[in-house]
Amino acid sequence: MMNRSIIFFDIDGTLLNHDKKLPLSTKESIFKLKELGHEVAIATGRAPFMFEDLRKELDINTYVSYNGQYVVLKGEELYRNPLNISSLEKLTEAALHNNHPVVFMDHEDMRANVPEHTYITESIATLKIGRFPTHDPHYYKGRELFQTLLFCPEREEKQYEQEFHDFDFVRWHPVSVDVLPKGGSKAQGIKKIVERLGIHPERQYAFGDGLNDMEMLSTVQNSVAMGNAEEKVKSVAKYETKSVEENGIFHGLQMVGLL
């Protein structure tokens, strides 16, 4: 198909509304894109096990997870970018001293370094994934981790940013930040997929709404910010659609001429 495009969708606030529901118009739009011969992919900060049901519902087997650190193309692992374990161990020690718990995450599971903490419960509950991390303070040993969650109030991550230069810190909740390999992003993960598929920049699209979407939206040529996105997210996108609650995906796909 000469005019085949690839469209990357964020999940929370983009595919899913604020109740973590998939609007019918969005589901219908995704299947219409595939009927037209386009490639449809997910680009999310979530772990693969956090959106398995969504992938099955939409029949999507290409995705950028962990904000670009673990990438799968048509069901096959394409790219891995793990955290520096030595630096992570030092960060964990500092966080424990500050009563800031962490959750270690690989492509299969997540484990917390403390038995329980209100910050963990409060933030993970908002994802509505039906599971919480179990306790294993040594889960980082002997395995590749692609993201860690650091739980601390807003602006308290600054102390870690100043000390741990192997990592990027991206806030996704008032009491939680993603800890990623330095320079890792959805944009980097997307690059791996489009290079392998040979899809030109003018045929690449991305939809998102969050702070962790900013590099993706500023890099992908045809980028669309959701109407519910913050203004600084909208400022880096080429287009702005309606909010997720107002059939924003359907409207945006029509606006850019894909539907």
Whole-number Å distance between alpha carbons of 75 and 61: 5
**Active site members:** 10
CA 199 to the chain's CA centroid: 22
Phi first, then psi: what are they for 214, rounded to 5°? -65, -45
Phi first, then psi: what are they for 128, rounded to 5°? 55, 50
Residues in the chain: 259
Q: In the numeric block, which tokens belong to residue 27?
A: 């589901």
State the Cα angle at 66 between 248 and 173, rounded to 5°: 65
Q: Percent helix, strand and coil across the chain, each rounded to 5? A: 35, 25, 40
Helix (H) or strand (E) holding 161: helix 158-163
